Amino acid sequence: MSNTSPLLTPTKLGAVELKNRIVMAPLTRNRAGEGNVPQDLNVEYYEQRATAGLIITEATQVSADGVGYPGTPGIHSPAQIEGWRKVTEAVHKKGGKIFIQLWYCGRISHPSLLPNNQTPVSASSIKPQGEAITYQGMQEFVEPRALKVDEIKLIVDQYRMAANNAKAAGFDGVEVHAANGYLIDQFLRDGSNQRTDNYGGSVENRTRFLMEVLQGVFETWGPNHVGVRLSPENGFNDIRDSAPQSTFNEIAERLSSLGLAYLHVLEGDMLSESRKVDYSEIKDRFNGSYMANCGYTQKTAEAAVTNQSADVIAFGSLYIANPDLVERFALDAELNIPDQETFYGGDSHGYTDYAFIETEEAIA
């Protein structure tokens, strides 16, 4: 394998040594088994991609209350822990490193997905526009219930337990999902947080929930085994902030003192090609490794690492279609084309049957 690409050089994220700077981004694929348990098909999928410097798993709910989609895995039951242990063992046998992304969907859910048909919760009782994906098909989002302070503490406890379960499952670390319009992001951004207590108003207050979650996670994992994902201007899931630059500059500063393994930033908007945020400002305010994500190609990723605008690059759809992405980058080889129709749900087709570089055929 050629080592001419800066992406192929080793690095360190916190306490975790990586063999290259290519990260498999967290990718929801809706293929967990009954009980939201990772199954053998998931083991094969992650094992195929173990040459990545780091794998970040698909978003994984910390409790049954945190579910937002069908077929997504959890890390809150013994069966789920055992299912994930099979994944981590397979990745480690291939020499890979793997973090689990911890997730609570909040208002981006539906009563039919939650225990006892309960109402989804959020920072404030603000109904998002759009529809939830349920086992009965698409259904309009409902107005969420604003969390009480004592309920916020209970969810922090769920993150704490999930972090402990992740350790038991053999992960190398955890990533706290604070992006893309899910519960923590619903607290961070003022479009969904209209609270008047200590969890609303100022950026410091809106960041409080995230900081409490991290302190809970740190009880099991040292901060240098923990990453955080942010998405300052992503409008996915009807989320927005009135001043994303200043808001997320301050959040990055607040996270900077914690000694995290990395800050993972979705740069831009999944729903638009326009960018209004200067991500270099966010990177400069974070004293640690910076993981960039959003539409990077091999060439733009190499440029980002070379000019030090990022330390590592996370790839999404390219990793769906190219389990051997590291090898293809090393050889400057042609890439498989992702089949978007098979991204969510289904079986092995479009999941574990993409061709490796040794094979002439690749799915289109």
Cα 58 to Cα 74: distance, rounded to the nearest angstrom:
10
* Per-residue pLDDT at 362: 39
Residue 66 belongs to a domain: yes
Pairing status of strand 16-18 against strand 11-13? antiparallel
Catalytic positions: 182
* Per-residue pLDDT at 359: 44
Residue stretches of the chain with pLDDT short of 70: 1-3, 359-364
* Per-residue pLDDT at 270: 81
Beta-carbon-side half-sphere exposure of residue 335 (alpha carbons within 13 Å): 18
Residue 300 belongs to a domain: yes
Number of domains in the chain: 1
Element (H, E) at 141: none
Cα 123 to Cα 118: distance, rounded to the nearest angstrom:
16
Residue 237 belongs to a domain: no
* Per-residue pLDDT at 275: 87
For 113-133, the pLDDT digits (tens) are 999 999 999 999 999 999 999
Pairing status of strand 121-122 against strand 145-146? parallel
Domain residues for the domain of 338 are 6-105+149-177+196-229+242-342
Residue 351 belongs to a domain: no
Instruction: Determine the Cα angle at 352 with ends 297 and 171, to 5°.
Output: 80
% helix / strand / coil in the chain, to the nearest 5?
Answer: 35, 15, 50
* Per-residue pLDDT at 360: 42
CATH number at 162 reads: 3.20.20.70
Residue 144 belongs to a domain: no
Q: Are 259 and 223 in contact (CB under 8 A)?
A: yes
State how far the alpha carbon of 355 is from the alpha carbons of 24, 44, 323, 338, in Å. 17, 14, 8, 11
State how far the alpha carbon of 56 is from the alpha carbons of 102, 186, 222, 285, 341, in Å. 10, 22, 18, 24, 22
For 170-219, the pLDDT digits (tens) are 999 999 999 999 999 999 999 999 999 999 999 999 999 999 999 999 99
pTM exceeds 0.75: yes
Say which residues have a Cβ less than 8 Å from residue 358's Cβ, sequence separation at least 6.
none
Where are the alpha helices (H) located in 29-108, listed in sequence order? 40-48, 78-93
Residue 310 belongs to a domain: yes
Residue 112 belongs to a domain: no
Cα 72 to Cα 5: distance, rounded to the nearest angstrom:
35
Residue 65 belongs to a domain: yes
* Per-residue pLDDT at 3: 58
* Per-residue pLDDT at 1: 42
- For the record, the structure tokens of 219 come out as 């009880």
